[in-house]
Chains A and B, each alone.
Chain A
Amino acid sequence: MSFLIALFSSMIINNIILAGYKGLCSYIGISNNWKSSIGMGLALTVVCIITGLICWGLQFALDALDIGYLQTVVFILVIASLVQILEILMKKFMPSLYKALGIYLPLITTNCVVLGLALTVAGTSVANWAAVLGTCIGTPLGYFLVLVIFSAIQDRLSLATPHKAFKGAALSFICTAFMALAFLGFSGMLG
């Protein structure tokens, strides 16, 4: 049950983009293309689940060694090396998938979502493993969901004719505000 609550909460209620405002660079940069937003979302989901769980485990080692202040450095190294390993493995064993997702993988290293998730789950006790698993799966899925929804909105936005200064990122942000307003409706759920 706690798995499902964590999954739903991190995916919809505390959505990483609309309520947590992380990962905005890639969100604004990629959402203008439907296909690439699906590729990015899939790649990010894989990376997030693995790094989230690894970093959660590593935090216990850091605490045991009393070097908790190295958290950021260790986590970013884990993320960077994992992304590199994933890229190599994918190239070797799944070349078709690599062709589809390959270009998004290097971008993921510097995506706030991954490091933000790692920092969020770090420090949760072992007894709450189900909630950690739910958060690790729900957070990237929430990102994926919003990215795909917004790329569909972007298709319509490209037909709109605002002042040329507002075209592009500025208009995207104002639309995101309204989407965040809509998602705010979920905020009372699950206590």
Chain B
Amino acid sequence: MEEKKLSKKEIFLAGIFSENPTLSIALGLCPVIIATQSVMNTIGMSFAVFFVLLMSNIIISALRKFIPHEIRIPVYIVIIASLVTCVQLLMQTFTEDLANSLGQFLPLITVNCIILGRAEAFANKNTVADSIMDACGMSVGFLMACLLIAIPRELLGTGGFTFSNPFNPIQSVTWTPLADYAIPLMDQAVGGFMWIGIVMGLFKMCLYKHDEKKAMKAAKMKMASAN
């Protein structure tokens, strides 16, 4: 079917760079804006997405021979919705503040395009081990993209960073050297849209540069071998 079987490392790296869910293929963007409000939110949302994506990829790739093709989408959605409910209940119990700040976007992971997209595009065609690697790569890609957006956003929006222990919110560290110059707009949807756009463009620019370099190298190699 496929001309070349991808190695585990290639699957993992594809999730971070060429198929980065947020920055390259622009899928599952709804939770990104809330997740990038602060670095803490990013970590919480990435963990939730990682858990759901990993479990759904494992279950769907394990059951890929048993799920009838015609009703596969409803089956996937029910599997994902149950996993999301698990995460939601766990987070509400152990990390209440984090769950509150993510709010509705926690149950909305159910309809996140990344998870259903990976189930449809990857997990139902590949083995369990490959699907685990794919889930890890995609989650790391999501985390990295969110961090790239969250760091400038939180710095400009609140003038610094706030970290707290998610299991015990009383323990927290605040560092806000620029608090007097904070731009509250960056905390809101406006800043989110703007920084997603900027980071997405810069990321693609880097990818193009990388590809160009690779093409140059390949051309040079060809020249050298011709000589």
Contacts and interface: CB of A to CB of B under 8 A. Distances in A.
Given A21-B189, A119-B104, A170 B111 contact: no
Given A72-B84, A72-B88, A77-B78, A181 B197 contact: no
Interface stretch (A37-45, A52-60, A108-116, A128-136): A108-116
Interface string B1-36: 000000000000000000000000011111001100
Interface string B180-214: 00000100111111101110111011011000000
Most A CB within 10 A of own CB, among B104, B108, B197: B197
A169 interface: yes
B99 to A, nearest CB: 13
Interface stretch (A85-93, A96-104, A172-180): A172-180
A175 to B, nearest CB: 8
Given A28-B26, A73-B85, A165-B208, A112 B111 contact: yes
Nearest to B199: A170
B144 interface: no
B81 A73 contact: yes
A69 B89 contact: yes
A72 B78 CA distance: 10
B208 to A, nearest CB: 6
A70 to B, nearest CB: 7
Interface residues of B, number: 43
A173 B32 CA distance: 13
15 contacts: A21-B189, A24-B30, A24-B33, A25-B26, A25-B27, A25-B29, A71-B107, A77-B77, A116-B104, A166-B204, A170-B198, A170-B200, A177-B194, A180-B190, A180-B193
Given A77-B81, A174-B198, 5 more contacts: A21-B30, A24-B29, A24-B33, A174-B193, A177-B193
Interface of A: 18-25, 28, 69-73, 76-77, 80-81, 84, 106, 109-112, 114-116, 119-120, 163-166, 169-177, 180-181, 184
Top 4 nearest A-B pairs by Cβ distance?
Answer: A173-B197, A170-B201, A174-B197, A177-B193
